[in-house]
Amino acid sequence: MSLAFANIRLGLLAKTVQASRAFERSIPALYLGGSRLYTNATSPTPKEIVVEKVANLEPEDHPWLSQMPAAPKSLLPHERVLTLVVANAGAGKLKDVARDWKYVPKSCHPAGMEAILQLNCLVGFPKTINAFAAVQKVGVERTPEWQEEHSNEGNYFAVRGDAACEGGSPGGAFAERGCTGDEACSMIYGEKYQKLRARMAYLHPLLDRFMVEHAYGRVIGRAGCLPLRMRELCVVSVLSGQDVPMQLASHVQGALNVGATQEEVLAVLENSKLIWGEQTYKQAIEVAKTVFNQAPK
């Protein structure tokens, strides 16, 4: 009886090992400099290593940009492509995310990763995770400096690196992180900032805290290579298809508050038409024009 039981246990153990190895093989690879690096604990044999180079495509050659009206010169081609990346990610169109990423220059990969990272505040973690997985399959240029910076908790919570967020200090106590979120949020919302905070606190006290400490302190107000202007244009691109006119209006105004022009906002909305559809585009344009008309003359 005990021998039979032992055989059963050995059989189960063998199946567990097989399942574990199958799971390891299914784990998506990480990329470094366009080459695949495995996350598996055991090193792959040379035959298992597959090198996939990032396609060297120019942003202005993106097929969708040729279908769209010309954007203002201040909105560079790679910036337009980044707004397409995040909008497609928000729509869950992962094949389009992968295609768009091929037109993001390697030098702009850190900015692209930042744009995707902030999606967790807009469309949730599942779509953010899926978008990261999609671009990793194409290839992500990760410099040692980038990797070190993003593994450092002090830099993670810092607010510095662009004109709208000067004065932030790296690291510090948890209260300081909330303060940096306070700064970024006030830059975006301007004179409506205090009203926003009061409304969030009324809806739920922790909602206000999450908004300032996480959304603006840890994500949107973070240090790095994506200035607030581009962060807000990416937010506009995503929100334009979410049927949230109140939040879209707030971030259209927020984009203007941190340096974007009306022409840039309209170009971003025009770009996202092919993602969200004509009717949604028309609604977003109406929201933007209402904001523009309310702006001080």
Q: Which residues pair with 93 in a beta bridge?
A: none
pLDDT at residue number 82: 97
Q: For 25-39, 81-95, 233-247, which range has the lowest pLDDT when averaged over its residues?
A: 25-39
The C-alpha atoms of residue 216 and residue 185 are separated, in whole angstroms, by: 6
Q: Decide: 87 and 237 in contact? Cβ < 8 Å.
A: yes
CATH number of the domain encompassing residue 272? 1.20.1290.10
Comparing CA positions, the residue from 88, 73, 93 lying closest to residue 234 is 88
Average pLDDT over residues 178-206: 90
If asked whether residues 143 and 28 sit together in one domain, one would say no
Same domain, 31 and 66: no
Is 169 domain-assigned?
yes
**Residue 146: inside a domain, yes or no?**
yes
Across the chain, mean pLDDT equals: 78
Domain contains 67: yes
pLDDT band at 34 (very low <50, low <70, confident <90, very high): very low
**Residue 53 located in a structural domain:** no
pLDDT tens digits, 90-131: 999 999 999 999 999 999 999 999 999 999 999 999 999 999
Is there a single domain that holds both residue 272 and residue 228?
yes
172 and 140, same structural domain?
Answer: yes
Residue 221 lies in a domain: yes
- Tally the C-alpha atoms within 13 A of residue 208's C-alpha that lie toward its C-beta: 15
Quick: pLDDT tens for 37-51: 323 333 333 333 233
31 and 152, same domain (yes or no): no
Alpha carbons 112 and 105: distance in angstroms, whole number = 9
- As a whole number, mean pLDDT of residues 183-193 equals 93
Pairing of strands 30-32, 35-37: antiparallel
Q: How confident is the model at residue 297 (pLDDT cuts 50, 70, 90)?
A: low
Coil/strand/helix, residue 282: helix
Instruction: Say if residue 12 is in the same domain as residue 110.
Output: no
Least confident of 132-136, 158-162, 291-295: 158-162
Find the mean pLDDT for residues 175-184: 61
153 pLDDT more than 70: no
Domain enclosing residue 102, as ranges: 59-294
| 243-268 residue pLDDT tens | 999 999 999 999 999 999 999 999 99
Residues 110 and 34 in one domain: no
For residues 171-195, average pLDDT: 71
Nearest to 173 by CA among 217, 132, 235: 217
pLDDT of residue 94: 97
Instruction: Based on the fold, state whether residues 110 and 149 are members of the same structural domain.
Output: yes
Beta bridge partners, 31, equal 36
The answer to whether 87 touches 274, Cβ cutoff 8 Å, is no
pLDDT at 160: 35
Alpha carbons 245 and 200: distance in angstroms, whole number: 17
Domain assignment present for residue 37? The answer is yes
Tokens in use for 293?
A: 């008309």
- The answer as to whether 80 is a domain residue is yes
- pLDDT at residue 135 greater than cutoff 70: yes
Of 10-24, 36-50, 178-192, highest mean pLDDT: 178-192
18 lies in the same domain as 70:
no
For the chain, what percentages of helix, strand and coil (3-state, to nearest 5) are there?
70, 0, 30
Whether residues 179 and 146 share a domain: the answer is yes
Same domain, 42 and 80: no
Which of the pair, 18 or 134, is modelled with greater confidence? Answer: 134
> Which has more pLDDT, 146 or 5?
146
Inform me whether the pLDDT recorded for 157 exceeds 80.
no
Same domain, 24 and 159: no
| Over residues 54-63, mean pLDDT | 81
Indicate if the alpha-carbon torsion angle 286, 287, 292, 294 is positive or negative.
Answer: positive
Q: In the listed set 29, 48, 67, which residue is the last one of a domain according to the structure?
A: 48
**Residue 174 pLDDT greater than 60, yes or no:** no
- Whether residue 54 is contained in a domain is answered as no
Structurally, the chain folds into a number of domains equal to 2
